[in-house]
C-alpha cells in the first residue's frame, strides 16, 4: 500500500487533490481510499487530506501517520508547528514541496527525496488563481509511479466537473495537470511497510475524592490567539509605503484581524505574524500606500 498525505491551506484545493488522486488510482484498477480532515480553520488555514492506494483491501482509516509521500502545497507550511507536514514520513519516502525555488532537504530529513516545483506560479499563470488541486494531484500521481497520465487527467476532469467547473476553466486545469505530470520525475521511493510507531498507552484512571476542583472548560488567558501565527496562511503579503502613508486609520479600521497599528511616526505597521493576506487594507487605502508581493519564505 502507498500512503499519500496532502498538506495545504483552506482554499488551495487540498481535499480535491486527494480525491483526484484517489479516483485516478481507482480508474487504474487499484483499491483506493481518500478522505479529508476538517478542523475549525478556514480559507487560508492549514488543512490535510489523505489518499491510500493498494492492490489489496485497505484495513486503515483516518489520519496517515507514516506516509510514503507527502505533498506540501505551500512551502510556508514547513515551518508550521501545528501542520508539521514532514512528521512521520518514512525513511526513503518522497516529499513534494510547492515552492518558488529548490532548496536542500531540511535538517534531519536528508533520508528523503525532496522535489520542488512552483505550482502556484504556474496556476496563477494558466488559470489566474492560486488554486492547485489538479497540479498537486498530478505531481502526486507521477511521484507514485503507479498512476497513468490518462487516468489522472480523466480523474481531474471528473472531480472538477463535480465541483461545477466548466468549459474553459476545466480545460485549463487539465492542461495544468498534464504539464505538471510531464515535468515531475518518478523517484525511487521506499514503499516498505515501516516499523509501527510505538507510543506509551496511559489510560485515564479514576482518582478517588480529593479536594481538588474539577476541570472547567474556561479560557482565561485572553488574547492568546496571537500564538497561532495565522500569518503563515498568506499567499500574498501587503507592504506599506511609509512615504505615502498618512496614518488615516482606514486600513486599521477595516482589517478583519486587528493586524495593523500605528507606529510612533503615525505610519501603519502590519503584524506579519498574523496577517492572513486578505488585502482589504490594500483595496481600501485611500492613498494607495499599500502594495502586494507574493509571499516567499523558503524553509531554512
Binding of another protein by 265 (CB under 8 A): no
Sign of CA pseudo-dihedral 92, 66, 9, 171:
positive
Contact predicate 45/230, CB 8 Å: yes
Tell whether residue 241 is a contact of another protein (CB under 8 A).
no
Does residue 268 bind another protein (CB under 8 A)?
Answer: no
Angle at alpha carbon of residue 186, lines to 185 and 188, rounded to 5°? 130
- Residues 160-199 binding another protein (CB under 8 A) are 164
Which listed residue (8, 13, 22, 44) binds another protein by CB under 8 A? 44
Cβ distance to another protein smaller for residue 125 or 182: 125
The residue within the footprint of another protein, chosen from 110, 195, 207, 264 (CB under 8 A), is: 207
Measured distance CA(221)–CA(189) in Å, rounded: 46
Min separation Cβ 254 and another protein, Å: 5
Residue 257 lies near another protein (rule: CB under 8 A)? yes
Comparing CB distances to another protein, the nearer of 161 and 227 is 227
Q: What DSSP element (H or E) covers 254?
A: helix 250-254
Measured from the CB atom, is 125 or 162 closer to another protein? 162
What is the nearest approach in angstroms of another protein to the Cβ of residue 70? 21
Angle (CA) 62 66 70, round 5°: 90
Cell numbers linked to 240: 506599506
Residues forming beta bridges with residue 291, ordered by sequence position: 239
DSSP of 93-108:
-EEEEE-SS--PPPTT
Site membership for another protein, residue 233 (CB under 8 A): yes
* Residue with Cβ nearer another protein (137 or 255): 255
Work out whether 221 is an interface residue with another protein (CB under 8 A). Answer: yes
CA distances from 131 to 24, 64, 149 (A): 19, 24, 20
Contact with another protein (CB under 8 A) among 200, 256, 288, 300: 256
Taking the complex as a whole, how short is the minimal distance between the CB of residue 31 and another protein, in angstroms?
Answer: 27
**Which one of 15, 23, 52, 276 is in contact with another protein (CB under 8 A)?**
276
Ramachandran assignment for 135, one of left (phi > 0), alpha (psi -120 to 50 degrees), beta (any other)? alpha
216 DSSP 8-state letter = P
Q: How many CA atoms lie within 13 A of 133 on its CB side?
A: 29
Q: Which of 110, 195, 200, 213 binds another protein (CB under 8 A)?
A: 213
139 scored as a contact of another protein (CB under 8 A): no
Size, binding site for another protein by CB under 8 A? 61
| Cell 523517484 sits on residue | 187
Q: How far apart are alpha carbons 160 and 127 in whole angstroms?
A: 14
Residue 264 found at the interface with another protein (CB under 8 A): no
271 lies in the site for another protein, by CB under 8 A: yes
In eight-state DSSP terms, residue 91 is: T
| Residue selected from 1, 58, 169, 252 as contacting another protein according to rule CB under 8 A | 252
Which residues of this chain interact with another protein, rule CB under 8 A? 10-11, 39-45, 164, 204, 206-230, 233, 248-250, 252-259, 262, 271, 273-280, 282-284
Amino acid at each position: 500500500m502507498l500512503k499519500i498525505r496532502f498538506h495545504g491551506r483552506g482554499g488551495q484545493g487540498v481535499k480535491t487533490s486527494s480525491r483526484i488522486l484517489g479516483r485516478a488510482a481507482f480508474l487504474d484498477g487499484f483499491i483506493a481510499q481518500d478522505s479529508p480532515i476538517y478542523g475549525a480553520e478556514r480559507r487560508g488555514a492549514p488543512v490535510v487530506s489523505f489518499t491510500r492506494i493498494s492492490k489489496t483491501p485497505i484495513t486503515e482509516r483516518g489520519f496517515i501517520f507514516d506516509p510514503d509521500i507527502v505533498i506540501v502545497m505551500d512551502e510556508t507550511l514547513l515551518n508550521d508547528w501545528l501542520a508539521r507536514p514532514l512528521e512521520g514520513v518514512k525513511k526513503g519516502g518522497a516529499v513534494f514541496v510547492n515552492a518558488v525555488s529548490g532548496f536542500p532537504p531540511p535538517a534531519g530529513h536528508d533520508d528523503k527525496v525532496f522535489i520542488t516545483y512552483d505550482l502556484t506560479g504556474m496556476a496563477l499563470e494558466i488559470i489566474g488563481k492560486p488554486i492547485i488541486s489538479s497540479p498537486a494531484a498530478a505531481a502526486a500521481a507521477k511521484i507514485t509511479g503507479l498512476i497513468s497520465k490518462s487516468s489522472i487527467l480523466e480523474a481531474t476532469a471528473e472531480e472538477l466537473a463535480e465541483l461545477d467547473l466548466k468549459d474553459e476553466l476545466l480545460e485549463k486545469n487539465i492542461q495544468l495537470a498534464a504539464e505538471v505530470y510531464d515535468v515531475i520525475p518518478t523517484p525511487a521511493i521506499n514503499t516498505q511497510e515501516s516499523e509501527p510507531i510505538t507510543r506509551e498507552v496511559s489510560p485515564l484512571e479514576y482518582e478517588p475524592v480529593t479536594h481538588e476542583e474539577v476541570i472547567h472548560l474556561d479560557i482565561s488567558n485572553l488574547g492568546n490567539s496571537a500564538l497561532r501565527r495565522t500569518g503563515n496562511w498568506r499567499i500574498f503579503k501587503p507592504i506599506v509605503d511609509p512615504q505615502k502613508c498618512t496614518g488615516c486609520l482606514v486600513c486599521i479600521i477595516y482589517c478583519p484581524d486587528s493586524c495593523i497599528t500605528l507606529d510612533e511616526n503615525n505610519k501603519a505597521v502590519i503584524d506579519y505574524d498574523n496577517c492572513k493576506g486578505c488585502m482589504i487594507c490594500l483595496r481600501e487605502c485611500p492613498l494607495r500606500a499599500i502594495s502586494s508581493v507574493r509571499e516567499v519564505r523558503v524553509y531554512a
